[in-house]
């Protein structure tokens, strides 16, 4: 009965993740309220979707940055792309986490409660110096008007508006910049283990998704039609 209901949800175009969350809610209800066992095989019936993320080209990233005139906004978006940061990591960055002398940025206690260092480009550090001179942040690198930290919603709005002004048709979010950074590193020949370390992935399999996106990998395959048509 339950399986039929949740399969009906799938037919109505609910994502597999939404269906699985509903199943888990039912499981919790049965356990805590009805004191009944839940058939965990139902979760296996609803398979997870494996979708490849959208990725921007370098020229599209450039267009986005060119459509951001506010210095603070440009510093935020450049940092997210240049270091492949999660939005939460950008928001939690403190001024002292920027090591200009060693050209490193320290990410403290991010996902998985781990610290890591990320190499910073010279152009990014120059932009951050310009931003620091203009805004003089004290503790957190990016603060809000009425709060010590900038908001995730504001960053999402900045990226979405810049992508729209750049006339990019893809769905662009701050996380798209992280995916794009990783893919561009791979296309430039960076080792997958280094990319894993920079992104802070616990499992190499998470990083390997970018091998399915990289145009360098895909375009290296010769199309057999080229040997057929003159």
Query: In sequence order, what are the residues at sequence separation of 6 or more whose Cβ sits closer than 8 angstroms to the Cβ of residue 213?
Result: 52, 53, 55, 179, 183
Nearest Cα neighbor of 30 from 39, 21, 43 is 39
Q: Domain coordinates of the chain in residue numbers?
A: 2-45, 58-216
- Kindly report, residue by residue over 134-186, the tens digit of the pLDDT: 999 989 999 988 888 999 999 999 999 999 999 999 999 999 999 999 999 98
- Kindly report, residue by residue over 194-220, the tens digit of the pLDDT: 999 999 888 888 888 888 777 666 666
Identify the band that residue 103 occupies on the pLDDT scale cut at 50, 70 and 90: very high
Pick the catalytic residue: 20, 106, 160, 201?
201
Query: In sequence order, what are the residues at sequence separation of 6 or more whose Cβ sits closer than 8 angstroms to the Cβ of residue 119?
Result: 103, 104, 105, 198
Strands in 98-99's sheet, in edge-to-edge order, are 98-99, 104-107, 116-119
Judge whether 184 counts as a catalytic residue.
Answer: no
At residue 177, the pLDDT reads: 96
Pick the catalytic residue: 81, 131, 150, 210?
210
- Kindly report, residue by residue over 27-74, the tens digit of the pLDDT: 777 677 767 776 666 555 555 556 778 899 999 999 999 999 999 999
Which is more confident, 165 or 225? 165
- pTM, entire model: 0.75
Identify the band that residue 77 occupies on the pLDDT scale cut at 50, 70 and 90: very high
Nearest Cα neighbor of 168 from 65, 51, 56 is 56
Judge whether 201 counts as a catalytic residue.
Answer: yes
At residue 25, the pLDDT reads: 77
Given this structure, which CATH class describes domain 58-216?
A: mainly alpha
Nearest Cα neighbor of 150 from 96, 227, 94, 66 is 94
Pick the catalytic residue: 73, 86, 179, 184?
86
């Amino acid at each position: 009965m339950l399986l039929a209901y949740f399969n009906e949800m799938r037919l109505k175009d609910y994502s597999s993740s939404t269906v699985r969350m509903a199943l888990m809610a039912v499981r919790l209800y049965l356990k805590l309220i009805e004191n009944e066992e839940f058939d965990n095989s139902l979760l296996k019936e609803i398979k997870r979707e494996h979708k490849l993320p959208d990725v921007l080209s370098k020229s599209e990233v450039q267009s986005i940055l060119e459509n951001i005139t506010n210095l603070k906004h440009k510093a935020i978006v450049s940092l997210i792309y240049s270091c492949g940061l999660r939005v939460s990591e950008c928001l939690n960055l403190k001024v002292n986490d920027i090591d200009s002398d060693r050209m490193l940025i320290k990410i403290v206690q991010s996902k998985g409660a781990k610290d890591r260092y990320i190499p910073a480009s010279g152009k990014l550090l120059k932009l951050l110096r310009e931003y620091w001179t203009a805004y003089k942040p004290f503790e957190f690198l990016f603060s809000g008007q009425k709060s010590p930290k900038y908001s995730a919603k504001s960053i999402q709005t900045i990226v979405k508006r810049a992508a729209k002004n750049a006339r990019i048709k893809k769905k662009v979010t701050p996380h798209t910049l992280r995916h794009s950074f990783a893919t561009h590193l791979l296309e430039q020949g960076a080792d997958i283990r280094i990319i894993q370390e920079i992104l802070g992935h616990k499992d190499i399999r998470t990083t390997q998704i970018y091998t399915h996106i990289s145009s360098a990998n895909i375009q290296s395959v010769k199309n057999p039609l080229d040997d057929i048509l003159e």
